[in-house]
Amino acid sequence: MMTITEKIFAAHCGRGQVSPGELVNAKVDFVLANDITAPIAIKEFSRIGAGDVFDRERVTFVPDHFAPQKDIKAAEQCRMLRDFSAGHRLKYYYEVGRMGVEHALLPEEGLVLPGDLIIGADSHTCTYGGLGAFATGVGSTDVAAAMALGELWFKVPESVKFIYYGKPGRWVGGKDIILHTIGDIGVDGALYMAMEFEGETIRDLPVYGRLTICNMAIEAGGKSGIIAPDEKTEEYVKVRAKRAYKFYSSDPDARYASVREYDASRIPLTVSCPSMPSNTKPAAELSQVKVDQVVIGSCTNGRIEDLREAARIIKGRKVNPNVRLIVIPATQLIYREAMREGLLDAFVEAEAVVSTPTCGPCLGGHMGILAKGEVALATTNRNFVGRMGHPESSVYLSGPAVAAASAVLGRIGTPDELGL
């Protein structure tokens, strides 16, 4: 009797069974890093005398945080990724013009798959759990070791189950579900645990909503987030997969550290207030909060479905004159699809600005830094002090529907205030 997470670990350790708390060496299916974390991994890879990567089709670098290169230091770091990738003949290196925000790009490219054990030198690597993989963020030195050996040590995490039932209200999506959950359990409520999401609400969610939920498992302290794959997962991955994959699911009698249940019909459009993701309130209670900047994008909510949702609200309206609206499609493919569908035109006509794919403002990198005292509402995943700029600025988090409505209203608001 094992959870989906324990089954994936057992398979990657070559064992019949593993238990929570065990220290194991496990083979990894995919290793990734970005332009902030890869340079450290590259230096450590060289320092330990590694000759070559364990598999040139299982290691990727994605320059997305400070790219397109915002300054000389960023340019030097991105060059390290390019040179290493060329020197080691990495099959999947994504330069500007071909790259995207890593956690949107890699599922889109079919490189992270159900049943995989994935590590990345980025805390939001847990996104890929939305496809039924065990995926977790690690340090750059761990990435260096895994690049050389193709394996890494882990402590098998305990699992905690979150069950959702009922039909969510209009505009309520994966972002609202995970913000509501984090608001309930706190930023350390699932510390070093595998957060397993299930129930009829989750089964009804499309893949993009599942990826959003698992993306923010780390904001509750989780080691990973995971959703058992099903026919929707199969439909998504079968046309993208670069290699074989396997579906796992938890045994009915699997043991969990705890189980929580939520009625999704009672989850409101939710906003996380400064300066913790767990500081959540219904969007309808925050109408007094004026905003200077709205960002729609990131590895959490920069997919085509997110842009469609925002565009439905923005189209035919204007961004409030006191607000900057920055829209960032998460990948080049998403950018092109948004262009074909007229979404970008709707944003530009509304007087928003559309950026090339980048993490940019999410981490306070570039493309939307906040000044002292400014307030932003973003579809990103983290709102710590100084996250998006000046330490005396403030960041609120929401889904794309609330973000788009707020850009029009000039304050935090909801689509129903616009008659939608």
Q: Coil, strand, or helix at residue 349?
A: helix
**pLDDT for position 27:** 98
For residues 163 and 257, membership in a common domain is answered with yes
Amino acid of residue 122: D
Look at residues 310, 118, 325, 137 and name the one whose alpha carbon lies nearest to residue 216.
137
Element (H, E) at 294: strand 293-296
Amino acid of residue 314: I
Q: What are 368-402's pLDDT values in tens digits?
A: 999 999 999 999 999 999 999 999 999 999 999 99
For residues 257 and 350, membership in a common domain is answered with no
For residues 203 and 308, membership in a common domain is answered with no
For residues 300 and 236, membership in a common domain is answered with no
The CATH number assigned to the domain holding 274 equals 3.30.499.10
Please tell me the total count of domains within the chain: 2
Task: List the domain range (segments joined by +) for residue 194.
Answer: 4-262
Q: What are 334-359's pLDDT values in tens digits?
A: 999 999 999 999 999 999 999 999 99
Q: What are 49-101's pLDDT values in tens digits?
A: 999 999 999 999 999 999 999 999 999 999 999 999 999 999 999 999 999 99
Look at residues 197, 204, 132, 205 and name the one whose alpha carbon lies nearest to residue 163.
197
* Percentage of the residues of the chain whose pLDDT score is greater than 90: 100
**pLDDT for position 349:** 98
Secondary structure (DSSP) of 199-236: SHHHHHS-HHHHHHHHHTGGGGT-SEEE----HHHHHH
For residues 149 and 223, membership in a common domain is answered with yes
**pLDDT for position 147:** 98
Q: Which of 205, 231, 262 is the last residue of a domain?
A: 262
**pLDDT for position 18:** 98
Pairing of strands 23-27, 270-272: unpaired
For residues 237 and 274, membership in a common domain is answered with no
Q: Which of 243, 262, 281 is the last residue of a domain?
A: 262
Q: Sorting pLDDT into bands at 50, 70 and 90, what band is 164?
A: very high
Averaged over 298-312, what is the pLDDT? 98
For residues 221 and 287, membership in a common domain is answered with no
For residues 328 and 343, membership in a common domain is answered with yes
For residues 249 and 103, membership in a common domain is answered with yes
**pLDDT for position 176:** 98
Asked if 105 contacts 94 with a C-beta cutoff of 8 angstroms, the reply is yes
Task: Give the predicted TM-score (pTM) of the model.
Answer: 0.97
Pairing of strands 92-93, 324-327: unpaired
For residues 280 and 256, membership in a common domain is answered with no
**pLDDT for position 186:** 97
Q: Which of 262, 278, 299 is the last residue of a domain?
A: 262
For residues 390 and 285, membership in a common domain is answered with yes
For residues 249 and 389, membership in a common domain is answered with no
